[in-house]
C-alpha cells in the first residue's frame, strides 16, 4: 500500500515537472478553465433568476449542487480525461506494452499516471462557493454530514471513472474507436441538474438503471439535510458492483491485446 | 549442468486479420461482410535456453521473432503451447516475475519524453522497489560503462538516438534483471554506437550471469554476441544450434580466391564456377561446397597459381541464401 501511495505522488510530481516545462500551455488552459467555470455559474444565475427555482431547488440549493458539479468536473478534466485519452491511444499504438511489463497493478498506472493541473483552481472555486453558500443559507452542517457528503463525492468519482474506464476498455475489442472518450463528458449534462428535474422513464433511467442523476444530487442533499437513505445505499452498492465489473472486464479484455508489429 | 531458464513447448500464436478488397466498392462491402484470414505468426515452436546463454533470434521481418518475445514477456497470450520463464507462466504477469526480466525494444521509447532520463530512472526505482544503495551503485556502474553521466539531466527528447538508446538500456537494467529480451537494440544506430552497445551487452552478460535473447537484423550483433542462434521463418523454427553450424548445414558453396600468373583471362575460369570478381589477375570464384577441393586441384594443375585460399561463405551470405531460397520457392 505504501508503495502505491508513494507512486501516486511520484506520478503527480512527474506531471507537475512536465507542466512546468510548458508554462504557457498551463496558463492558457487555466484561464480557459476559469472562464468556463465563471460562465457556468453565470448561466445558472440567469436561469434561476428568471424561474426562481429548478425542479423545486432554490437558487442557493442549485449553487450547492453546481459546486459539487464543478469539483467533479475538475477531476474529469484533470485526471479522467488525460488518462483515458492516453489509455485508448496506447492500445492502438502498442505503447500499452511498456505499462503491462511493470511489476505493479496495470489498472493503477492506467488510471493514475497522468494529471493536468490547470483545472485545479476550478476545484477550489467549487469548494469556496459551496462553503460560502452554506454560510449564506445559515444551515447547520454537522461532521457526519460532511463525512457522508465526502464519501458520496468520492463514490461519484469512482462511478464516473468506472463508466469511462469500461467504455475506453472497448478499445481492445474494436479496431478504431476514436471518439469513445467523448461519451462520458457528454453525460455531464445529466448530473448538472438536480435529479428531480427528470420525470417518467428518464427519471428511472438516471436514478436506478444507470444512476448518473445521483452523482451531484446525493452529496448536495446530504449537505442540505434532506438525504434519501435508500438512494444513498443504492448508489454506493451500485458503484461498488459497477467498479468490480469494470475491473473484471479489463482483465478479460487485456487478453485481446495484440500490441502492434515492429 | 546449467539451469534451464526459458522453456517453450509447441508454442503457437495465431492472429485473425481482416482482408479488405481494394477500392471504394471493397470498403462498402466491408461494412457488412468482412473476410478474415488466420495468420500464423508463431507456429509450433519449441526450445530451451539455459542460464547465462546469449541466443540470437534470426528471421526476416514478420517471421515471428517479436511475437515470440512478447509472449515470453507476458504481453501476448499464446494461442496454444507452454512457456516457462524463470518458473513463471509469463502471461500471468506476476510482479515477482516482472521484477526479474526486461524487454528492450529498439523502436519503442520507454522513457518520459519531456523529462530528463534520470526522472524515469527514479520512477523505475519506485516501481521496482530498488533499495537506495543498490540503485546508486547500479546507476553509477551502468552510466559509467555507457558513458552517459553528462546527459542524464537533459530532456529525453533533446538527446540523440544513440544517447536515448543508452538511457533506455539503463532504465531496463536498473533492477538487474536475470533475463533480458533485446529486440533490435542497435537499430538505427551508427557503427560506433552499435559496437559500444554490443560490448556492453557482453559485459552485462558476464557480470550478472544474465540470460539474453537478442533479435537483430545486423549480423554483426549476432556474430559478436551469440554462440547459439535460432532461425525462425514464417512462424516456424528452421534451425537451432551453434552459429558455425549454420554454415555446415546450409552453405552450398565455398569461395576460392587465388592470384594467377600472367596470360590467363576471365573466360578461362568460367567452367570452374561462378566468377565473383576478376581484377589484376586476382580471381574469386564461388564453387559448390562438396567439389571445392577437386576444383581447387584442377585449377592448380591447369594454371600458374601464385597463392590460393579456400574459404567458407560468410554467415550473412548463407542466411541470405536460406531466406532467399524460401522466398523463391514461395514465389514459384
CB-CB under 8 Å, A97 with B108: yes
DSSP states along chain A: -HHHHHHHHHHHHHHHHHHHHTHHHHHHHHHHHHHHHHHHHHHHHHHHHHHSEETTEEHHHHHHHHHHHHHHHHHIIIIIHHHHHHHHHHHHHSTHHHHHTSSS-HHHHHHHS----TTHHHHHHHHHHHHHHHHHHT----HHHHHHHHHHHHHHHHHHHHHHHHHHHGGGTSS--GGGGGHHHHHGGGGGS-GGG--HHHHHIIIIIS-TTHHHHHHHHHHHT---HHHHHHHHHHHHHHHHHHHHHHHHHGGG------
For residue B332, pLDDT over 50 is answered with: no
Phi, psi of B81 (to 5 degrees): 105, 175
Comparing CA positions, the residue from A160, A234, A173 lying closest to residue A204 is A234
Query: Judged by CB atoms within 8 Å, which residues 109-148 of A form the interface with B?
Result: none
Residue tagged 441538474 (cell numbers):
A193
Which chain A residue shows the shortest CA-CA distance from B73? A101
CATH number given to B252-312: 3.30.70.980
Mean pLDDT of A134-156: 94
Judged by average pLDDT, the poorest of A183-187, B161-165, B264-268 is B264-268
Q: What is the domain extent for residue A214?
A: 2-256
A168 lies in some domain: yes
What's the rounded mean pLDDT across residues B11-35?
Answer: 81
- The residue of chain A nearest to residue B111, with distances taken between CA atoms, is A98
Residue A67 lies in a domain: yes
**Between residues B216 and B211, which one has the greater pLDDT?**
B211
The CA angle A146-A5-A98, to the nearest 5 degrees, is: 130
Contact B112 A255 (CB under 8 A): no
Contact across the interface for B108 and A258, Cβ inside 8 Å: no
| % of chain B exceeding 70 in pLDDT | 97
Instruction: Give SS3 for B78.
Output: coil
User: Percent of chain B having pLDDT more than 90?
Assistant: 36
Q: Which cell is B293 given?
A: 577441393
Q: Are the C-beta atoms of B94 and B102 separated by less than 8 Å?
A: no
**pLDDT of residue A163 exceeding 90:** yes
Would the CB atoms of B75 and A98 count as touching at under 8 Å? no
pLDDT at A185: 86
Distance CA A223, CA B236 (A): 67
pTM, 2 dp: 0.81
Residues of A in contact with B103 (CB under 8 A): 97, 101
> Do B118 and B37 touch, CB atoms closer than 8 A?
no
Cα–Cα distances (Å) from A130 to A44, A223, A225, B150, B242, in that order, read 15, 10, 14, 51, 74
- The reply to whether residue B75 touches residue A17, judged by beta carbons under 8 angstroms, is no
Mutate to test the interface with B, among A6, A258, A260, A261 (most CBs of B within 10 A): A258
Q: What is the pLDDT of residue A259?
A: 67
Mean pLDDT for A113-141 is 91
Q: DSSP letters of B179-195?
A: EEEEESTTTT--HHHHH
Q: Which of the residues B18, B93, B185, B188 would you substitute to probe the A interface, choosing the one with the greatest number of A C-beta atoms within 10 Å?
A: B93
Q: What are the boundaries of each domain within chain B? A: 52-76+87-248, 252-312
CB A262 within 8 A of CB B105: yes
Does residue A258 belong to the interface with chain B, where contact is any CB pair within 8 Å? yes
The whole-number average pLDDT for the span B276-282 is 85
The total number of structural domains that make up chain A = 1
Q: What confidence tens digit (pLDDT) does each residue in A218-234 have?
A: 999 999 999 889 999 99
Contacts of A7 in chain B (CB under 8 A): 126-127
> In this structure, what DSSP letter does residue B34 have?
-
- Binary contact (B119, A261; C-beta < 8 A): no
Distances in whole angstroms, Cα of residue B52 to Cα of each of B2, B159, B172, B210: 9, 32, 18, 5
Q: Which of B70, B93, B110 sits opposite A259 (nearest CB)?
A: B70
Q: What is the pLDDT of residue A260?
A: 59
A105 is a domain residue: yes
A137 part of a folded domain? yes
Q: Which of residues 160-219 of A touch B (CB under 8 A)?
A: 175
Pairwise CA distance, residues A242 & B185, whole Å = 43
Q: Do A258 and B76 touch (CB under 8 A)?
A: yes
B62/A261 touch (CB, cutoff 8 Å), yes or no: yes
Cell numbers describing residue B296? 581447387
- Which of B42, B60, B110 is most worth mutating to test chain A (most A CB atoms within 10 A of its CB)? B110
- Residues B145-186 pLDDT 10s: 888 889 999 989 899 888 888 899 899 999 999 999 998 888
Closest-approach residue (CA) in chain B for A16: B115
Instruction: Verify whether the Cβ–Cβ distance B110 to A17 is below 8 Å.
Output: no
Write the DSSP assignment of A13-30 as a string of letters: HHHHHHHHHTHHHHHHHH
Report CA torsion sign: B269, B271, B277, B283: negative
- When pLDDT is cut at 50, 70 and 90, the band that residue B325 belongs to is low
Residues B85, B6 contacting (CB under 8 angstroms)? yes
Q: Mean pLDDT highest for which of B105-109, B120-124, B162-166?
A: B120-124
Mean pLDDT confidence for B263-288: 85
> Tell me, what's the pLDDT at A22?
76
B114–A21 CB contact, under 8 Å: yes
Residue B331's pLDDT band (cuts 50, 70, 90): very low
In a domain, A261, yes or no: no
% of chain A at pLDDT higher than 70: 97
Lowest-confidence region among A54-63, A80-89, B257-266: B257-266
Give B123's pLDDT tier (boundaries 50, 70, 90): very high
Q: What is the pLDDT of residue B327?
A: 57
How far is residue A201's CA from residue A244's CA, in Å, rounded to a whole number?
27
The alpha-carbon gap from B301 to the nearest alpha carbon of chain A, in Å, equals 54
Q: How far apart are the first and last CA of chain A?
A: 36
Q: B52-76+87-248 belongs to which homologous superfamily?
A: P-loop containing nucleotide triphosphate hydrolases (3.40.50.300)
For residue B20, give how far its alpha carbon lies from the nearest alpha carbon of chain A (Å): 14
**Taking CB atoms and an 8 Å limit, are B123 and A14 in contact across chains?**
yes
> Nearest-CA residue of chain A relative to B78?
A255
Q: What is the pLDDT of residues A144-153, one digit of tens each?
A: 999 999 999 9
Identify the pLDDT of residue A40: 79
Q: What percent of chain A has pLDDT over 90?
A: 57
Beta bridge mates, B88: B85
Q: Do A7 and B183 touch (CB under 8 A)?
A: no
Question: Which DSSP letter does residue B155 get?
Answer: B
pLDDT attached to residue A261: 52
Amino acid at each position: 500500500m505504501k508503495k502505491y501511495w508513494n507512486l501516486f505522488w511520484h506520478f503527480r510530481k512527474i506531471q507537475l515537472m512536465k507542466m512546468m516545462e510548458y508554462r504557457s500551455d498551463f496558463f492558457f488552459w487555466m484561464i480557459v478553465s476559469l472562464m468556463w467555470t465563471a460562465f457556468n455559474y453565470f448561466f445558472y444565475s440567469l436561469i434561476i433568476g428568471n424561474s426562481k427555482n429548478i425542479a423545486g431547488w432554490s437558487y442557493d440549493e442549485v449553487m450547492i449542487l453546481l459546486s459539487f458539479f464543478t469539483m467533479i468536473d475538475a477531476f474529469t478534466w484533470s485526471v479522467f480525461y488525460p488518462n483515458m485519452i492516453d489509455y485508448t491511444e496506447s492500445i492502438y499504438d502498442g505503447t500499452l506494452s511498456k505499462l503491462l511489463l511493470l511489476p505493479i497493478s496495470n489498472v493503477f498506472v492506467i488510471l493514475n499516471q497522468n494529471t493536468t493541473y490547470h483545472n485545479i483552481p476550478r476545484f477550489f472555486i467549487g469548494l469556496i462557493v459551496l462553503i460560502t453558500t452554506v454560510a449564506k443559507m445559515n444551515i447547520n452542517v454537522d461532521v457526519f454530514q460532511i463525512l457522508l457528503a465526502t464519501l458520496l463525492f468520492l463514490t461519484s468519482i469512482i462511478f464516473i471513472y468506472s463508466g469511462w474506464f469500461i467504455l475506453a476498455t472497448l478499445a481492445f475489442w474494436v479496431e478504431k474507436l476514436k471518439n469513445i472518450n467523448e461519451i462520458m463528458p457528454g453525460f455531464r449534462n445529466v448530473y448538472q441538474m438536480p435529479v428531480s428535474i427528470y420525470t417518467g422513464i428518464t427519471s428511472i433511467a438516471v436514478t436506478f438503471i444507470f444512476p448518473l442523476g445521483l452523482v451531484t444530487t446525493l452529496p448536495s442533499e446530504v449537505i442540505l439535510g434532506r438525504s434519501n437513505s435508500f438512494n444513498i445505499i443504492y448508489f454506493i452498492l451500485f458503484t461498488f458492483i459497477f467498479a468490480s465489473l469494470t475491473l473484471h472486464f479489463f482483465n478479460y479484455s487485456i487478453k485481446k491485446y495484440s500490441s502492434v508489429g515492429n | 549442468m546449467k539451469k534451464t531458464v526459458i522453456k517453450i513447448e509447441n508454442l503457437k500464436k495465431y492472429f485473425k486479420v481482416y482482408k479488405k478488397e481494394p477500392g471504394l466498392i471493397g470498403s462498402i462491402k466491408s461494412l457488412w461482410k468482412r473476410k478474415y484470414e488466420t495468420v500464423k505468426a508463431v507456429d509450433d515452436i519449441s526450445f530451451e535456453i539455459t542460464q547465462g546463454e546469449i541466443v540470437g533470434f534470426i528471421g526476416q521481418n514478420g517471421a515471428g521473432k517479436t511475437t515470440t518475445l512478447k509472449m515470453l514477456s507476458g504481453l501476448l497470450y499464446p494461442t496454444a503451447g507452454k512457456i516457462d520463464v524463470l518458473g513463471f507462466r509469463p502471461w500471468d504477469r506476476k510482479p515477482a516475475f516482472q521484477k526479474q526480466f526486461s524487454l528492450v525494444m529498439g523502436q519503442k521509447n520507454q522513457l518520459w519524453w519531456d523529462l530528463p532520463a534520470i526522472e524515469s530512472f527514479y520512477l523505475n526505482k519506485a516501481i521496482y522497489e530498488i533499495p537506495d544503495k543498490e540503485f546508486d551503485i547500479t546507476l553509477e556502474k551502468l552510466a559509467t560503462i555507457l558513458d552517459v553521466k553528462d546527459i542524464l539531466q537533459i530532456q529525453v527528447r533533446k538527446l540523440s538516438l544513440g544517447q536515448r538508446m543508452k538511457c533506455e538500456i539503463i532504465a531496463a537494467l536498473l533492477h538487474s534483471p536475470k533475463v533480458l529480451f533485446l529486440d533490435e537494440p542497435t537499430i538505427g544506430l551508427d557503427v560506433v554506437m552499435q559496437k559500444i552497445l554490443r560490448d556492453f551487452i557482453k559485459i552485462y552478460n558476464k557480470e550478472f550471469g544474465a540470460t539474453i535473447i537478442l533479435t537483430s537484423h545486423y549480423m554483426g550483433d549476432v556474430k559478436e554476441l551469440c554462440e547459439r542462434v535460432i532461425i525462425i521463418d514464417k512462424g516456424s523454427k528452421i534451425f537451432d544450434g551453434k552459429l558455425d553450424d549454420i554454415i555446415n548445414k546450409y552453405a552450398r558453396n565455398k569461395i576460392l580466391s587465388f592470384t594467377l600468373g600472367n596470360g590467363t583471362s576471365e573466360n578461362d575460369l568460367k567452367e570452374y564456377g561462378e566468377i565473383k570478381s576478376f581484377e589484376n589477375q586476382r580471381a574469386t570464384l564461388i564453387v559448390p561446397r562438396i567439389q571445392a577441393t577437386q576444383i581447387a586441384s584442377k585449377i592448380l594443375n591447369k594454371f600458374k597459381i601464385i597463392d590460393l585460399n579456400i574459404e567458407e561463405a560468410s554467415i550473412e551470405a548463407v542466411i541470405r541464401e536460406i531466406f532467399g531460397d524460401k522466398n523463391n520457392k514461395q514465389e514459384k
